[in-house]
A and B are shown apart, each in its own frame.
Chain A
């Protein structure tokens, strides 16, 4: 009995792995349940450990080649630099959250926090000053080192320059002399030509020598002095933190919501008191007007929320949301049209030219077209009823739906519609002839034929198409966001590229992984759906 329950659990897990496409972990489960240990261990080594080792090897190769591949645009970041940028991005998100809670903190909690932060600030301030001094010292060190290294080269360069100038003058004089003799007919013209040619070669030679020296000097000057870099980095991180604490102090004090509210309320109370003791009608009117204004101000304050900077988590959420909007738009068009294509040869013939021409069009082109087309529907985005409605839905409102999101989603839909459409048509057209015959014999009407025979039997192919569509959509979306600067991971990459900071490349590579991992999970999700609608139980590809 116990045995069979265990088996049941085992098969349930195995089934789950199979459906979700993680069959590689199959032997691990079997091993855990003690099934043919020898065989499972072999399988684990072959299909889990070796691939894992290979991935590690790739990482090692990356961290080996990164620092060796130098360009002027910057170094290729190693995995640990990328990891550092992950942490930095996380810190940014965390700090935004802290600032937000500071903004909303009230009463004694606020006062306590204020005191705490102030103490921390002062301690850090002292440290920052010390570090700043250290940086200055290292800077001096570097300058001295550089000076001693460059000085002999500089002297050499100066010497070379004087020599070159003298040599050049001498050659010029010689050429002048020869040309006079040529004019006088004493020597052949070719001698002059040769002299000029030689002069050119000599000049090039001298220039090359000078450039050699110059580039040596340049090399020394652009050499990164490690201790200085380290000192600077340490100071920068402390200074960043210090600045964050300073902002926190502001948000806990003057810029805190409850403080601002209390101020406004006190003001209102003042006006009210004044109003009671007003002596003339004119004065009363004036004060009353002010009181109304103050009241409005309070109302506005109560509605105020902390304006958070955009973090990578927010961008990722928004991208996922956008891709689903686009994907559902695509599915809503692709499935009905695909079914009609599959059912009716004439309709298929009508659609073929359209599909063939528009399928290969680049997402960039669609984006530009949709920017114009969609723009027309939102002449005044602030007061658009639909946008305002969508933005009032609790979970979605924080994403900030705007026309940019709409046309990014439309671009996704436009590119994602084709695989789903073609696969649906194929699925419908390739229904087993027996099923069709049965339908005919039973004299099923159009709708029951559609829902009882056509759709169920074409579902696996439809979902296979939808899976490709979602993959295409995700790929297209990042490009669309980058180009249209619609918030999302694409914009994050583009902004990073524009920043051109020392972390730019690391951040871009980080996004590469984020996009890849999200894409992977989207794909797995589609695999699971696809498996649920397949009867044949056939395996899915990776």
Chain B
């Protein structure tokens, strides 16, 4: 809370003193940012490659990290100044699930962007269980209902279906759990002793780094996975699996990655932080720019940049699918999904408290938070992690400089999105009432 107050004053001072659009008083101008090879690191890469960081007087190095844990460790130990992070990571680190450190975020990198892929064998069995799926273009969203008999059959044989996700506090973990639980499949609970989340599981979810997912699926160690792009399209291209659903269908326009820095860094470099967020906002806006017909203006160029080996590095044609508004569910099932990756639209880059609260409810639902907490705790944690003041200070500068329009930014919000029921199971999520939301699920901890 202290930090927030402090930043508000800093932001205000800066905002008042520089109404001419000149450079901020940077505390530090050579920065290193980490990322994982996934397309949603795009805003960071674009801000560098298009010179948005340079415009702020920042010299930025963007460095690929081997996995989420090392990325977080590097941010904590100061090797990196900031990084592309899973939305759950700053929250989990702050409340001390996994590595404990106060991590904050002032910028949401994107919405959506993940998919759940199952192996060909499982897909065939799902088609047998539900003949409606047995066409070249089945109707979406596909629920896990047709997976349930397979899971039960396995259980009778004394086995548990194995699936993969990328990190214990990843959006992917919560999404695949949500998808399974919505069909009555228990994906397992975390407890004080069980840090793997296998307790009472019908389907066991294990951690596999994104790039290894297709190979692990092919080798038969897992029968399905939830991961970001390009690893679902990769499975289609190689013919080793079938993406059954995307997280857009599980929760429409769900928050995905954030730009995280350590609280210590944010406190020591308030102006640099604002400058970085300025560049990111411009990058987000650039990525989502469309012409009059609603076609993306810059995505193809973005894909060209991302396919460079030092960034995402996957083939241009593979990345292009999802980034330019298409998604292949099967070779025959190409769908238009203009919102598969949202970088700026719908005020998505604002650091919403309500996003943080949703992740907290999921951490509690699956037992990563081991004890019941009062509703205020949820709000307090969200306010400790999300820094809308930094975002707004950056936006104010950009508005003066003419880079963004008035309506691009939710200036007067209290940080809470309205309640929504756009989930695959239609359950209402009201961020003001986290406990009520927690109790409305059939499978999961209740308080």
Contacts and interface: CB of A to CB of B under 8 A. Distances in A.
Contact of A307 (B25, B60, B315): B60
B61 A307 contact: yes
A496 interface: yes
Listed residue (A211, A294, A496, A502) with the most chain B CB atoms within 10 angstroms of its CB: A502
B37 A499 contact: yes
A232 B54 CA distance: 34
Given A92-B309, A496-B309, A501 B23 contact: no
Contacts of B66: 483, 485, 494, 498
B129 to A, nearest CB: 13
B29 A300 contact: yes
Contacts of A382: 78
B82 to A, nearest CB: 14
B307 A501 contact: yes
Interface in A367-388: 375, 379-382
Contact of A496 (B124, B239, B313): B313
Contact of A73 (B218, B312, B316): B218
A495 B64 contact: yes
B214 A500 contact: yes
Contact of B37 (A211, A218, A498): A498
Interface in A395-443: 402-404
Nearest to A402: B79
Contact of A293 (B22, B230, B312): B22
A250 B51 contact: yes
A309 B64 CA distance: 12
Contacts of A290: 20, 22
A304 interface: yes
A255 interface: yes
A98 to B, nearest CB: 15
B79 A404 contact: yes
B440 interface: no
Listed residue (A232, A293, A499, A500) with the most chain B CB atoms within 10 angstroms of its CB: A500
B65 A485 contact: yes
Interface string B35-62: 0010000000000110100100101110
B137 interface: no
A219 to B, nearest CB: 9
A72 B315 contact: no
A501 B304 contact: no
Interface string A278-309: 00000000000010011001001000100101
Nearest to B332: A221
Contact of B51 (A255, A380, A501, A507): A255
A304 B313 contact: no
A240 to B, nearest CB: 7
A243 interface: yes
Nearest to A244: B304
Interface in A489-520: 494-503, 507
A135 B423 CA distance: 39
A501 B310 CA distance: 12
Interface residues of A, number: 48
Contacts, number: 102
B128 to A, nearest CB: 8
A500 B234 CA distance: 9
A239 interface: yes
Contact of B57 (A297, A381, A403): A297
Nearest to A243: B304
Nearest to B231: A500
A254 interface: yes
Given A73-B218, A300-B57, A499 B309 contact: yes
B54 to A, nearest CB: 6
A166 interface: no
Contacts of B231: 500
Contact of A495 (B124, B134, B215, B313): B313
B64 A222 contact: no
Contact of B308 (A73, A297, A300, A309): A309
Nearest to B312: A499
B159 interface: no
Contacts of A503: 309
B51 A499 contact: no
A106 interface: no
Contact of B313 (A250, A307, A485, A501): A501
A403 B74 CA distance: 11
Contact of A240 (B29, B79, B211, B304): B304
Interface in A214-254: 218, 221-222, 232, 236, 239-240, 243, 247, 250, 254
A24 interface: no
A183 interface: no
B20 to A, nearest CB: 8
Contacts of B317: 232
Listed residue (A309, A375, A494) with the most chain B CB atoms within 10 angstroms of its CB: A309
A176 interface: no
A73 B314 contact: no
A501 B70 contact: no
Nearest to B310: A309
B301 interface: yes
A501 B309 contact: yes
Contacts of B59: 304, 307
Nearest to A306: B59
B238 interface: yes
Contacts of A380: 78
A310 interface: yes
B301 A236 contact: no
B306 to A, nearest CB: 11
B331 interface: yes
A501 B314 contact: yes
Contacts of B57: 297, 300
A350 to B, nearest CB: 36
Contacts of A402: 79
Given A495-B310, A499-B313, A72 B218 contact: yes
B413 interface: no
Nearest to B301: A243
Contacts of B51: 250, 254-255
Nearest to B237: A222
B95 interface: no
A73 B78 contact: no
Given A243-B304, A255-B54, A500 B22 contact: no
A231 B124 CA distance: 35
B315 A403 contact: no
Contacts of B424: none
Contact of A501 (B79, B240, B315): B315
Given A72-B239, A500-B314, A501-B318, 5 more contacts: A375-B77, A379-B77, A495-B37, A495-B310, A500-B230
28 contacts: A211-B124, A218-B239, A218-B331, A221-B331, A222-B239, A236-B316, A240-B304, A247-B49, A304-B59, A310-B310, A382-B78, A402-B79, A485-B65, A494-B66, A495-B37, A498-B37, A498-B64, A498-B66, A498-B313, A499-B313, A500-B231, A500-B314, A501-B307, A501-B309, A501-B314, A501-B315, A503-B309, A507-B309
Interface of A: 72-74, 92, 161, 211, 218, 221-222, 232, 236, 239-240, 243, 247, 250, 254-255, 290, 293-294, 297, 300, 304, 307, 309-310, 375, 379-382, 402-404, 483, 485, 494-503, 507
For the complex of A and B, the 8 pairs showing the least CB-CB separation, nearest first, are A499-B313, A498-B211, A485-B66, A501-B315, A309-B310, A221-B331, A72-B238, A243-B304
Interface of B: 20, 22-23, 25, 29, 37, 48-49, 51, 54, 57, 59-61, 64-66, 70, 77-79, 124, 134, 209, 211, 214-215, 218, 230-231, 234, 238-240, 301, 304-305, 307-310, 312-318, 331-332
